[in-house]
Amino acid sequence: MRMRQIPLLASVALCLQVSCAAIAQEKISDGTVKIGVMNDMSGLYSDVTGRASVIAATMAAEDFMAKEKPKFKVEVLSTDHQNKPDIASAKAREWFDRDKVDAIVDLPTSSAAIAVVKVASQKNKITLVSGGGTSSLTNEECTETNIQWTYDTYALASGSAKALVKLGGDSWYFLVADYNFGTNMEKDATNAIKSAGGKVLGSVRHPFPASDFSSYMLSAQQSKAKVIGLANAGSDTQNAIKSAQEYRLTEKQIVAPLLMFINDVHSLGLKTTQGMYLTDGFYWDLNDETRAWSRRFFERHKAMPNMIQAGLYSAIMHYLKAVKATGTDEAKVVMAKMKATPVNDFFAKNGRIRADGRMVHDMYLMQVKKPEESKSPWDYYHVKQVIPGNDAFQSMENGTCPLVKK
C-alpha cells in the first residue's frame, strides 16, 4: 500500500546549511534522524490529530535544528493509519524496513497504537505516543522502546470522575466506544468512581465510530443515573453531546465527556458545552510559556493546539536532544538517555519517564466557561485544579508492566 503524504508537511527535510555540510556521524544511520507522524488524517480523530500533529512535529524539528545545530538532519514523514490496526502495523513495518524511520510518533486510536508499539519493539525502534490513550500501553502492553507521553485513560478518568462524585454526581451510566480505549476508560473510571464513594448503574457499548446515538441516549435516560459518562472521543463525543441535548438529558443529568479536546469545545460552542468538567494535560492559556508556543502554532494552523500537539512537540524535542547527547539513533541507548533526563519545557515541569514508559507530569481539571465568561477566541476553560503527576497517573506498583520488578 502506497504511503499517503501531506504536501509540504508530509516529508520535510529540515537542516541548517552548516549542519548539512558537516554530516559525518557514523552512529546516526544515513546521517538523518527520521520521525514518522502516524495518525488519523481523514476520519473521526482528524480534527484533534491529523495535519495539526504534523505541524507540531515540523515545528519541533525546525526548532531543534535552529537551537541545537546537530551534525545530522531531521526528516519528518506522515501517513494516515485510518484508525485500523492492520494498516498501522503494515505501514510501521514499511517505514522501519524500507524508509529507515527511527521513531514513530502520535498514534491516536489505541488499538492502532498497540499494534505499532509491538512492531517497533520487534524492530528495536522508538515510539512516542501522544495521541493514544489506553492505559494498557504502560501496563500489559508496555515495551522497552515506547513512551506514553501526554495522557491515558487512568488520568482522564480519575480526574473527572472523582471531581464529579465530590460534587454530588455519585451514580453513573457509561456510553462506551467498543474498542480498547473505550473499555479501558470505562474500567478506569469505574474504579475511580467506586473509590470516591460512587456507584455505576450500567453501561452500553456503541460501534466505533458511531453516527446515531438515539438508542444509547434512551438507555442512559432510563438508567436515571446522575452522570452520563462518555467513554469515547473525537466526533463520537461531539455526536453524543449533541444527541444528549436533543433528548434533553442535560436538563436532569450531567453529561461528562471523559476525553474532550479544546477542538471539540470550539466545534460545539460554549453554549452547548458550558459547565462541563474535563481532565486535560495542557491548556494554551496556562502561562506565558504555553501562550508563546501556542501562538506560534496558531500562526500555522489557525487554531490553538490541544494536549496531543503540545505533548508531541515536547516528546520529539526530548528525543532529538537525547540522540544528539548520545551521538546515536540506536533505540535502547537513546531511550536510556531519555529516561535519565528530566522533562522541563512549556508542556511539563519536572516531568520524568518511568521504567514502564509513562511520562509523569501534572494534569489539569478544567471546567468549560459560560459564553459570557469568555473574553476572547479560544478562551474556554477555568482551571479548577492542578493534579500532581504522582496523583494523576497510576503508580507502577499497581500496574502490570512486565518490565517493572515488583
Q: What is the DSSP string of 51-118?
A: HHHHHHHHHHHHHHHHHH--SSEEEEEEEE-TT-HHHHHHHHHHHHHTS---EEEE--SHHHHHHHHH
Check residue 13 and give its pLDDT.
43
pLDDT of residue 121: 98
pTM: 0.92
Residues 6 or more apart whose CB falls under 8 angstroms from that of 293 comprise 305, 310, 313, 346
Output the CA–CA distances (angstroms, integers) from residue 389 to 141, 153, 281, 304, 361, in the order listed: 21, 14, 10, 24, 4
Residue 142 Cα distances to 47, 167, 316, 385, angstroms: 28, 35, 19, 29
Pairing status of strand 126-129 against strand 363-368:
unpaired
> Tens digits of per-residue pLDDT, 207-242?
998 989 999 999 999 999 999 999 999 999 999 999
Which helix (H) or strand (E) is 176 found in, with range? strand 171-177
pLDDT exceeds cutoff 80 at 8: no
Distance CA 319, CA 36 (A): 13
pLDDT, averaged across the chain: 93
| Euclidean distance between CA atoms 198 and 164, whole angstroms | 10
Work out the number of other CB atoms within 10 angstroms of the CB of residue 7.
6
Map residue 40 onto helix, strand or coil.
coil
pLDDT band at residue 6 using 50, 70 and 90 as cut-offs: very low
Decide: 156 and 133 in contact? Cβ < 8 Å: yes
For the cut 50, the answer to whether the pLDDT of residue 125 exceeds it is yes
- Lookup: cell for 81: 493509519
Instruction: Indicate if the pLDDT at residue 105 is higher than 90.
Output: yes
Asked whether the predicted pLDDT for residue 169 surpasses 60, the reply is yes
Instruction: Give me the pLDDT at residue 14, please.
Output: 42
Quick one: cell of 282?
Answer: 495542557
Using 50, 70 and 90 to split pLDDT, how confident is the model at 358?
very high
Check pLDDT > 90 for residue 4.
no
The tens digit of pLDDT for each residue in 269-299 reads: 999 999 999 999 999 999 999 999 999 999 9
Q: Residue 22 has what pLDDT? A: 35
The model's pLDDT over 43-65, given as tens digits with 9 standing for 90+, comes to: 999 999 999 999 999 999 999 99
pLDDT at res. 86:
98
In this prediction, residue 20 carries a pLDDT of 36
Q: For residue range 25-45, what is the model confidence (pLDDT) as tens digits? A: 448 988 999 999 999 999 999
Q: Which residues are paired to 363 by β-bridges?
A: 387
Distant-in-sequence, close-in-space partners of 168: CB < 8 Å, separation ≥ 6: 226
The domains located in the chain, with CATH, are 12-151+286-360 (3.40.50.2300), 154-280+363-393 (3.40.50.2300)
Residue 174's identity, in one-letter code, is: F
Q: What is the mean pLDDT of residues 250-263?
A: 95
Q: Which of 14, 27, 23, 4 is nearest to 76 (CA)?
A: 14
Please say whether the beta carbons of 374 and 361 come within 8 A: no
Asked if pLDDT for residue 388 goes beyond 80, the answer is: yes
Instruction: State pLDDT tens for residues 73-89.
Output: 999 999 999 999 999 99
* Pure H helices in 204-306: 214-223, 235-246, 262-268, 270-273, 288-301
Percent of the residues in the chain that have a pLDDT greater than 70, as a whole number: 93
pLDDT of residue 178: 95
C-alpha distance from residue 290 to each of 293, 311, 347 (Å): 5, 12, 7
Distances (CA, A) of 293 to 68, 279, 300, 310, 374: 18, 21, 11, 9, 21
Question: What's the rounded Cα separation, in Å, for the pair 154 and 135?
Answer: 6
DSSP string, 244-259: HHHTTGGGTSEEEESS
Would you state the pLDDT for residue 254?
95
- Report the pLDDT value the prediction gives residue 17, as an integer from 0 to 100: 33
- C-alpha span between 313 and 54 (Å, rounded): 10
Predicted confidence band of residue 16 (pLDDT cuts 50, 70, 90): very low
Strand partners of residue 366: 278, 383
pLDDT band at 10 (very low <50, low <70, confident <90, very high): very low
Model confidence band, residue 140 (pLDDT cutoffs 50, 70, 90): very high
Q: What is the model's pLDDT at position 29? A: 86
Say how far apart CA 270 and CA 403 lie, in whole Å. 44
| Cell numbers given for 76 | 519528518
The closest of 184, 178, 180, 224 to 202, measured between CA atoms, is 224
What pLDDT does 406 receive?
60
Sequence-distant (≥ 6) Cβ neighbours of residue 302 within 8 angstroms: none
Rounded alpha-carbon distances, angstroms, from residue 240 to 175, 212, 229: 9, 8, 10
> pLDDT tens digit string along 301-312?
999 999 999 999
- Residue 27 has a pLDDT of 87
